[in-house]
Chain A
Amino acid sequence: MVTRRDLGKIGLAAGFAGTFTRPAWAESAADIAVKAAQQYKGQTITIVWEAGLQSLDPLNFSGPKWKELTGIDVKVVEAPIAEMFTKIMQDFKSGAGAYDALNVVPAWMPDLVNAGALEVLDPFVDKYGFRDELQKIAPTYRDNQMMVNGKIYGFPDDGDVFVMYYRTDVLGDPALQAAFKAKLGYDLPVPPTTWKEFDEVGAFITEFTGGKTYGAGFFRESGYANFTFQERFRNEGGKFFDGETMKATINTDAGVKVFTDWLAENKFAPPGVEQWGFVENLAAFLQGQTAMTVSWPPYGRWAAGYGTDQEVMSWVPKSTIAGKVGYAMPPGGHPELAAGFCLSVSSTSKNKEAAYLFIQWLNSEAVSLERVKLPYALRDPFRDSHFTDPGYAALWPEAKDYLAALQAGANNGLLDLSLLQTDKYEEVLRQSVSKLWAGEDPKAILDTAAGEWDAITEKIGVDKQKAIYADWASKSGAYPKM
């Protein structure tokens, strides 16, 4: 019997076949890249990719396919995301030219461009006719993550956005809804749209179930909470800096409210939530221990059971909640476009043209659609056509709603803070979160953090950083339009 899952697989296979058997008269960006790259047959290009599931894309799918089509070998250098920036900078500073193509987190771009580590891509884009297809990348990513100082340095290649996942069976339970209304005097919102609602629903679920199902789980480990702080702070009306003086303003009421609310929320979350990162939060949600959470897109796919039967996914806990998950914008309505990846060419590469052609092919409409559907990889939809692809929408029963949530997130998403030496500012945030869990006072923590941010800004140069911040703040995804 052919199931819906099988139909999805058939669709994927058909799409795959269509991609690589396209007639010559309908030359796409992928076709152009393949044809032009054939002159480099026998060469090897090296690409830096995040270690783990992310790199299974070039190792198992795109790398071998590119070799088959062009005769160019792809060598994948895997690195944990925390080390990728260092590796790229070290290679650039040493002038070794060990890497040809790069995966770059968009927030790193000003630093890498300022250092001269990335190649300007505009001449290649025009030469190989990629401009039209670039326009079809979802506007948030295209307009905010592609250029620095008006020049293209990377192709947005991953629609990383936070989505709220909630258990439709728990929040839709009539007994729970009735008890909620009796206690709080209003209908239980499905899903909650403000943090006040979210907190009241979450606390009530924990109380109602006696902790059998906790109201919510969260990213609280400092590396992840850096993103959730940035998101929530801006949804609460916070601004990172005073645009005139460049003095840090993270210690305003909005920041203190976020930290204070977090402490209160931990009381209705599972014990030890302060240590939760991606895997802990995922495990609790998939095992039905938490009713709501906010995370990156793979949670939605894996909660539905999509792709988790593959061997490489054996570490993902078996979902006990398939078919019981709703997708929505996180409270506040403006999710973080947390991290993400762009494809770039290293300025020290000795194979720039071949490297460029590979990333054009990867990022093209046809090939990227196949890549975002790979069940084991972590690239998420980022092109308009990805969100509306019938093949994707058929992958599991609720996939259409999932894609709609991702598209809404892309339309309303907030960019990660991106300045010169962004990681120094983020490191202060990470330490601040860590201090919060150690029991320090929220206001005191944020006052210290603001002082440290000011010191970083002064060291870099107030005017220099002010110009970069003004450019970043002018982007559509910098702050919510209240």
Chain B
Amino acid sequence: MTVAAATALRANPDRNFRYWLLTPAIFLLLLVGLFPLFYSLVVSFMRIDMMDTDTSFAGLYNYANMFKDKRLWAALGHTLLITVIALPIELLLGLAMAYLFLEKLPGRQIFISLLVLPTIISPIVAGATWRLLFDNRYGPINQVLGWFAGHPVTALWTINPHLVYPAIIFCEIWQWTPFMFLILLAALSNVDKSQTEAAAIDGAGFFRTFRRIVLPAIWPVMAIAILIRGLDLARIFDIIWALTSGGPGTMTETISVYTYAQGFKQFETSYTAAIAFLVIVILTIVVTWAIRRMGLAK
């Protein structure tokens, strides 16, 4: 602001002027944020499906259909399954690794950098890479297993119903455990050492010290990490799309994969909007509950 403008403002102290300055930014945010949300809500009450010319008001038709759609509920179940398995493993592994790297080790910085590498890879690229690694014909995983087994192994990792979930969860853990590790390492580094040393002098064991001193100290950070990863897992798409596309059949179809298939392969635009709102409602309830439960709202 020039000196002249500042003087003019002082001379005429219009308190609303600052709000006028903010208006374009607020308008832009509403335009790109809230408008699509409300428009999607409107679309979810219509009959738009890309191919048809009848786009009239459909009332609760799309929402009623969701309750009859077994594939949708199965997809939600698959998402939940992956989340409840992958999230605790990532948390425990990340915590263990963070403890390991808490000590001053030779080459610590280099190891930490290397361990974090999977996290910076695009998930779709990671998925495509793992698909190659799991390939039954040219993939090294079957080859290595074959060396141990003493005979060729032709495991169909992305087709066999007994192997496909372990494959997906393994990839997920491989890529995102470093994220947990990094955040928990930062949290552990900030734990007051005098308290843990005092506990050790008083004869407290590792688990007692962890439960009584370390966990309360790192809990706010750990809760945020759990929340972020939980939300990521709830919308898991890339790795599954690259590895199995939701197959075999619809066995690994998560809610994001199903929504994508409905929206961009089947062109069920209104139904997809309704699914998106169902997901928003479910996640809002879960996140609100989790925030209260974890004490993050305090």
A438 at the binding interface (Cβ < 8 Å): yes
Q: Which of B135, B159, B251 has the most CB of A within 10 A?
A: B159
* Chain B: minimal CB distance from A460 (Å): 8
Find out whether the CB atom of B248 lies under 8 angstroms from the CB atom of A89.
Answer: no
Chain A, residue nearest B154 (CB): A271
Find out whether the CB atom of B265 lies under 8 angstroms from the CB atom of A431.
Answer: no
Check A434/B156 contact, CB under 8 A, given A115-B51, A427-B265.
no
* Chain B: minimal CB distance from A387 (Å): 35
Find out whether the CB atom of B264 lies under 8 angstroms from the CB atom of A274.
Answer: no
Residues in chain A near residue B137, CB distance under 8 A? 270, 272, 275, 280
B161 at the binding interface (Cβ < 8 Å): yes
Chain A, residue nearest B134 (CB): A275
Residues in chain A near residue B161, CB distance under 8 A? 438-439
Check A437/B50 contact, CB under 8 A, given A271-B154, A272-B136.
no
Determine, out of A2-10, A70-78, A416-424, the stretch whose residues face the partner at the interface: A416-424
Residues in chain A near residue B250, CB distance under 8 A? 431
Residues in chain B near residue A420, CB distance under 8 A? 51
Find out whether the CB atom of A438 lies under 8 angstroms from the CB atom of B136.
Answer: no
Find out whether the CB atom of B247 lies under 8 angstroms from the CB atom of A431.
Answer: yes
Q: Is the interface of A mostly helix, strand, loop or mixed?
A: helix
Residues in chain A near residue B51, CB distance under 8 A? 89, 111, 114-115, 420-421
Query: Which of B50, B156, B249, B251 lies in contact with A275, CB distance below 8 A?
Result: B156
Chain A, residue nearest B153 (CB): A271
Query: Which of B135, B156, B265 lies in contact with A274, CB distance below 8 A?
Result: B156
**Distance, CA A421 to CA B264, complexed state (A):** 13
Residues in chain A near residue B159, CB distance under 8 A? 274-275, 434, 437-438
A435 at the binding interface (Cβ < 8 Å): yes
Residues in chain A near residue B156, CB distance under 8 A? 272, 274-275, 437
Q: Is the interface of B mostly helix, strand, loop or mixed?
A: loop
**Distance, CA A440 to CA B264, complexed state (A):** 28
* Chain B: minimal CB distance from A76 (Å): 23
A86 at the binding interface (Cβ < 8 Å): yes
* Chain B: minimal CB distance from A456 (Å): 9
Check A272/B249 contact, CB under 8 A, given A423-B266, A427-B265, A438-B161.
no
Residues in chain A near residue B154, CB distance under 8 A? 271-272
Find out whether the CB atom of B136 lies under 8 angstroms from the CB atom of A434.
Answer: no
Q: Rank and list the top 6 A-B pairs by shortest CB-CB distance, nearest first.
A: A438-B248, A272-B136, A435-B249, A271-B154, A434-B247, A434-B248
A-to-B contact residues, CB < 8 Å: 86, 89, 93, 111, 114-115, 222, 270-272, 274-275, 280, 420-421, 423-424, 427, 431-432, 434-435, 437-440
- 19 new A-B contacts at CB < 8 Å, known A93-B50, A440-B249: A86-B264, A89-B267, A115-B50, A222-B247, A271-B154, A272-B154, A272-B156, A275-B136, A275-B137, A275-B158, A275-B159, A280-B137, A421-B51, A431-B249, A432-B249, A434-B247, A437-B156, A438-B161, A438-B249
